[in-house]
């Protein structure tokens, strides 16, 4: 049997300590004698080192004293005892045990021992291996420590990991912040669209999940500019093999289908991930194409904000339940992602995806508008259809080395979206049709190259967008404002939009003495946007143009030049970053048709300070102070009215909207990988000043007019959240506690009266996951939320939400599992209450000696048809009823390869 040297050494040290203790004790009580001598091996002249010598009472066999032979085989033991005789025992793993009876007196012994091996009775040591380890800023989770036989893809594992939070849309948070990068064996194949990997990569293909703390994605900046963000890396078990997942299913109520095939392969110089999906069973496959990392999203769109249509049908607010309970869909998607690493470390990456997604929603809304002198109640119902087609193609050339960095990213995006809806209000049916196509192309180039002892940074972004969109409403409505009260049949709003964007910057990064680094950039942003709109009424085949103020011919120009200076200090336990950008902004907005113009020309300062201090190896604290000066774009300024939906008009005839915000963010984080305890506390304070305020006018018939007015106003928000998780390795159990509080106050004009609007949210949560994997697994999650709002002195009512759900896996046999899921939702509002419960069931049979399984799934067994929620926002409360998918049963074949 194998016994480690370290364990023997520890036993030896413990025995020495005990012997010394007993020796000391005896010295203080009895007379002292000294037993000394030398130990040798039979027929050999060499001495024996490390023989244990025990001096015992010959009657009681109680230990009196202890000694051990030195390098020469000698020993000397002090003995204090009132016994007349002593029993001396010589023991060693390499000699036979020898016992000697002697008189209790000082004497010198010559002992000869025989060679031999002492047999130790067989025993077994059992230990619980901690699946969480930490080394060199890398937190590693062993996948096998969190896996059970129901886990198929890596997303199933991510949801169980202590210290990591996975949102409903798949976004991964660590220490309360989204991860910066998602790598597979150190390579960035998907650039932000990591749902494609987390929801399709087999769990058993991954050896460990690594959190890379303070990760700097640009290797050339690794020792110069620190990062406060974490990235995630999947370390695979094998390379150069094809792996993947697939699904094929059929069901009823009505005819249901779903299918998925996702093959992928990973090697040192080639990574490929393909995905083909189709279903009408309620699964939102479009989520897998969402960009979830903020850095990649900003790079994809440059400095331009994401395009927002000016109009569309009024969609229902998605309830806080699983999306497959209410999503009526027919979806198809194909995605191809290839990354080839060439000699010299250059990566060529292609990401192409196409999605065809049709879905519908149906429900009713009861809205209470709390006006300064009145309360208006509106009851409406909506039947909406959304038909989306999107092609996204991206080609990237990347060289990320320690000596230099180069990246060029070309992106093409084509949207052909359509929205069709029928809304009912006051007994009138309103038919709406919105066509929302969009064409976008952009290119982003960046290089970092050393010149002498400096790094030269060159970056260039250019982009072009075009959209010709229209929105039709029948019957028209707004007769008093548009046709002097004369009825008409149809109202048609048209928008023609184009934009050109360019952002160029040149800078340098230089290392300074005493761990300081300086980065400086000069840059120029040029943007020009044009938007023209017209409004038409029609009766039969005749059309009538609506003149001012329902037309727009807008040109928005922005030129921004800036100098950006940044200092970084990186020490072992302290990081400091100070940014000091100075910029000159010139914005000109002009509408010749409306004879309107607005201009801004100003120098602005936007300093930012960030500090991170490592209190100990387990505790760290962060502080960020930021001042930001933003100017809104063309979506937030237009001098003519634009119809937003069948009952809402909006006009933003104001100065260029400006938001000056000062914010403070503080966080304290604790992580103890050995004991698997993770916690994070974050507090955020934002004080924002606006030069434009919205005037909301609500009529008794439900029509709403929004106008932008030049009036300084202020908004303040507080946000606090706490999350603590503990993993119990012995029981394979993860416990998580969370709490958050949010408070928002802002000023708003409601029917020409300036009012203070206050919103508060208080929430708490608890999660329990037991993954023993032997007989049963259990997961339970509960959330209790309180929401309140107030307009002026009027309290609009309080909302309470108590949601909890549980899942029980019973492993009937080695290859058979039964799963029962239960969800309960309790929503209350000032006397009103909506209770809804869901029960789902699944039986899974795994085919022996294969990686295939067949499952029978039943969803919404109780056959609930509607789900009710209460929401509060601004100056209204809303009660919503959402149509649910009926009870459905499916047989699904899953396979992993």
Q: What is the pLDDT of residues 48-79, one digit of tens each?
A: 888 899 999 888 788 888 888 988 889 999 88
CB 499 within 8 A of CB 527: yes
Main-chain dihedrals φ then ψ at residue 761, nearest 5 degrees: -140, 130
- Structure confidence at residue 816 as a pLDDT band (50, 70, 90): very high
- Structure confidence at residue 13 as a pLDDT band (50, 70, 90): very low
CA distances from 724 to 174, 678, 727 (A): 12, 6, 10
CB 490 within 8 A of CB 472: yes
Secondary element (H or E) of residue 303 = none
Question: Can you give the pLDDT at residue 539?
Answer: 87
Q: How far apart are CA 184 and CA 273, in angstroms?
A: 11
Considering the entire predicted model, what is its pTM? 0.80
Q: Token match 């129901």: residue? A: 150
Q: What is the pLDDT of residues 781-811, one digit of tens each?
A: 999 999 998 888 888 878 999 999 999 999 9
For residue 754, what are its two tokens?
A: 């300036």
Question: Chain-wide mean pLDDT for the chain?
Answer: 89
Higher pLDDT, 624 or 10: 624
Q: Token match 């027919």: residue? A: 330
CB 83 within 8 A of CB 58: yes
Q: Cis link prior to 179 (omega < 30° from 0)?
A: no
* Closest-CA residue to 392 (of 349, 443, 335): 335
Main-chain dihedrals φ then ψ at residue 203, nearest 5 degrees: -65, -35
**For the chain, domain boundaries:** 5-113, 272-896
Q: How far apart are CA 298 and CA 52, in angstroms?
A: 71
Q: What is the pLDDT of residues 95-131, one digit of tens each?
A: 888 888 898 889 999 888 888 766 655 545 455 567 8
- The DSSP line for 462-500 is EEEEEEEEEEEEES---HHHHSTT---SEEEEEEEEEEE
CATH topology of domain 5-113: Immunoglobulin-like (2.60.40)
- Structure confidence at residue 26 as a pLDDT band (50, 70, 90): very low
Q: How far apart are CA 791 and CA 744, in angstroms?
A: 12
CB atoms within 10 A of CB 838: 20
Q: Token match 């940014």: residue? A: 579
**pLDDT above 80 (res 332):** yes
713 strand-pairing partners: 690
Q: What mean pLDDT comes out for the span 374-394?
A: 92
Q: What is the pLDDT of residues 215-226, one digit of tens each?
A: 999 999 887 888
Work out whether strand 270-279 and strand 328-341 pair parallel, antiparallel, or are unpaired: antiparallel
- Structure confidence at residue 30 as a pLDDT band (50, 70, 90): very low
CB 162 within 8 A of CB 130: no
Question: Can you give the pLDDT at residue 45?
Answer: 65
- The DSSP line for 653-722 is -SSPPEEEEEEEEEEEEEEETTTTEEEEEEEEEEEEEEEEEEEEEE-TTS-EEEEEEEEEEEEEEEEEEE
**What CATH number matches the domain at 272-896, 1.10.20, 3.30.310, 2.40.170, 3.30.70?**
2.40.170
Give 539: exposed, middle or buried? Use CB within 10 Å, 0-12, 13-18, 19+.
middle
Give SS3 for 98: strand
Long-range contacts of 197-200 (CB under 8 A, 24+ apart): 197/154, 197/234, 197/264, 197/273, 198/153, 198/154, 198/155, 198/158, 198/170, 198/172, 199/153, 199/155, 199/170, 199/288, 200/153, 200/244, 200/245, 200/260, 200/262, 200/264, 200/273, 200/275, 200/288
Q: What is the pLDDT of residues 151-160, one digit of tens each?
A: 899 999 999 9
Main-chain dihedrals φ then ψ at residue 324, nearest 5 degrees: -75, 0
- The DSSP line for 591-656 is ETTTTEEEEEEEEEE--EEEEEEESSSSEEEEEEEEEEEEE--GGG-EEEEEEEETTEEEEE-SSP
Q: What is the pLDDT of residues 296-306, one digit of tens each?
A: 666 555 434 56
Q: What is the pLDDT of residues 570-589, one digit of tens each?
A: 888 899 999 999 999 999 99
Higher pLDDT, 367 or 736: 736
For residue 597, what are its two tokens?
A: 């113009």
Q: How far apart are CA 355 and CA 334, in angstroms?
A: 7
Distance from chain centroid for Cα 269: 28
* Closest-CA residue to 624 (of 614, 635, 609, 637): 609
CB 63 within 8 A of CB 54: yes
CB atoms within 10 A of CB 255: 8
Question: Can you give the pLDDT at residue 522?
Answer: 97
CA distances from 484 to 125, 543, 594 (A): 91, 16, 21
Question: Can you give the pLDDT at residue 298?
Answer: 60
Interacting residues of 316 by C-beta distance below 8 A, sequence separation 6+:
361, 363, 365, 382, 384, 880, 882
Q: How far apart are CA 46 and CA 49, in angstroms?
A: 10
Percentage of the residues of the chain whose pLDDT score is greater than 90: 65
**pLDDT above 90 (res 350):** yes
**pLDDT above 70 (res 15):** no
Question: Can you give the pLDDT at residue 844?
Answer: 94
**pLDDT above 60 (res 6):** no
């Amino acid at each position: 049997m194998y016994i480690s040297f370290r364990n023997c050494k520890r036993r030896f040290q413990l025995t020495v300590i005990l012997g010394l203790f007993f020796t000391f004790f005896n010295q203080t009580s009895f007379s002292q004698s000294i037993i000394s001598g030398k130990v040798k091996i039979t027929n050999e002249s060499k001495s024996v080192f490390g023989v244990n010598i025990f001096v015992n009472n010959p009657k009681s066999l109680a230990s009196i004293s202890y000694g051990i032979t030195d390098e020469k085989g000698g020993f000397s033991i002090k003995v204090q005892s009132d016994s007349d005789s002593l029993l001396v025992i010589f023991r060693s793993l390499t000699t036979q045990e020898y016992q000697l009876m002697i008189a209790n007196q000082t004497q010198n012994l010559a002992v000869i021992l025989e060679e031999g091996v002492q047999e130790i009775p067989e025993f077994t040591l059992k230990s619980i291996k901690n699946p969480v380890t930490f080394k060199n800023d890398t937190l590693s989770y062993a996948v096998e420590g969190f896996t059970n036989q129901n886990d198929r893809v890596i997303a199933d594992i991510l949801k169980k990991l202590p210290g990591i939070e996975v949102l409903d849309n798949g976004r991964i948070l660590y220490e309360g912040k989204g991860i910066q990068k998602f790598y597979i064996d150190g390579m960035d194949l998907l650039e932000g669209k990591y749902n494609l990997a987390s929801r399709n990569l087999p769990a058993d293909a991954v050896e460990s999940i690594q959190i890379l703390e303070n990760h700097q994605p640009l290797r050339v900046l690794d020792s110069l500019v620190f990062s406060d963000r974490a990235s995630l890396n999947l370390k695979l078990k094998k390379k150069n093999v094809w792996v993947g997942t697939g699904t094929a299913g059929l069901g009823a109520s009505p005819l249901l289908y779903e299918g998925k095939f996702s093959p992928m392969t990973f090697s040192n110089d080639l990574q490929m991930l393909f995905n083909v999906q189709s279903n009408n069973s309620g699964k939102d496959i479009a989520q897998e194409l969402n960009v979830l990392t903020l850095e990649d999203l900003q790079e994809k769109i440059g400095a331009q904000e994401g395009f927002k249509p000016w109009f569309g049908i009024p969609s229902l607010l998605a309830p806080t339940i699983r999306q497959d309970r209410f999503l009526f869909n027919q979806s198809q998607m194909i995605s191809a992602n290839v990354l080839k690493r060439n000699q010299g470390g250059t990566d060529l990456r292609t990401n192409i995806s196409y999605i065809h997604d049709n879905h519908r929603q149906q429900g009713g809304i009861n809205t209470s508008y709390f006006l300064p002198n009145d309360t208006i109640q509106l009851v409406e119902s909506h039947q909406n259809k959304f038909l989306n087609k999107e092609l996204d193609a991206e080609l990237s050339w990347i060289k990320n080395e320690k000596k230099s960095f180069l990246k060029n990213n070309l992106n093409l995006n084509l949207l052909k979206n359509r929205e069709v809806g029928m809304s009912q209000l006051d007994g009138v049916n309103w038919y709406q049709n919105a066509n929302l196509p969009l064409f976008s192309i952009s290119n982003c180039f960046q290089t970092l190259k050393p010149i002498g002892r400096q790094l030269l940074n060159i970056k260039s972004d250019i982009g072009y967008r075009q959209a010709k969109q229209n929105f039709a409403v029948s019957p028209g409505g707004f007769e008093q404002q548009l046709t002097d009260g004369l009825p008409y049949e149809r109202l048609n709003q048209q928008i023609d939009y184009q934009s050109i964007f360019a952002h160029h910057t040149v800078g340098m990064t230089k290392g300074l003495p005493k761990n300081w680094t300086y980065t400086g950039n000069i840059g120029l942003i040029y943007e020009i946007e044009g938007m023209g709109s017209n409004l038409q009424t029609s009766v039969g085949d005749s059309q009538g143009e609506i003149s001012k103020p329902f037309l727009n011919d807008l040109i928005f120009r922005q030129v921004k030049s800036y100098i950006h200076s940044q200092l970084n200090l990186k020490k072992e336990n302290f990081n400091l970053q100070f940014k000091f950008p100075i910029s000159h902004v010139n914005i000109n907005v002009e509408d010749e048709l409306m004879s309107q113009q607005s201009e801004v020309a100003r120098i602005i300062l936007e300093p930012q300070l960030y500090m991170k201090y490592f209190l100990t190896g387990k505790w760290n604290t962060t502080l960020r102070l930021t001042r930001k000066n933003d100017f809104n774009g063309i979506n937030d300024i237009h001098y003519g009215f634009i119809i937003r939906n069948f009952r809402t008009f909006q006009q933003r005839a104001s100065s260029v909207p400006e938001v000056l915000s000062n914010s403070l963010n503080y966080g304290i984080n604790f992580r103890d990988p050995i004991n698997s305890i993770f916690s994070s506390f974050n507090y955020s304070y934002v004080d924002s000043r606006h030069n434009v305020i919205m005037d909301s006018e609500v009529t008794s018939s439900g029509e709403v007019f929004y106008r932008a007015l030049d009036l300084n106003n202020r908004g303040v928000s507080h946000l606090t959240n706490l999350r603590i998780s503990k993993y119990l390795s012995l029981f394979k159990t993860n416990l998580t506690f969370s709490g958050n509080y949010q408070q928002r106050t802002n000023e708003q004009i409601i029917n020409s009266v300036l009012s203070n609007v206050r919103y508060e949210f208080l929430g708490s949560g608890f999660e329990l996951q037991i993954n023993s994997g032997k007989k049963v697994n259990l997961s339970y999650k509960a959330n209790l939320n309180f929401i309140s709002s107030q307009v002026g002195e009027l309290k609009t009512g309080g909302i309470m939400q108590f949601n909890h759900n549980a899942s029980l896996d019973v492993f009937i046999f080695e290859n058979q599992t039964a799963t029962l899921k239960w969800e309960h939702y309790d929503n209350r509002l000032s006397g009103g209450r909506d209770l809804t419960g869901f029960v789902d069931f699944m039986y899974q049979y795994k085919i022996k000696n294969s990686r295939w399984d067949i499952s029978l799934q039943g969803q919404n067994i109780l056959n609930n048809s509607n789900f009710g929620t209460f929401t509060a926002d601004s100056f209204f409360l809303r009660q919503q009823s959402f149509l649910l998918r009926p009870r459905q049963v499916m047989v699904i074949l899953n396979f992993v390869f």
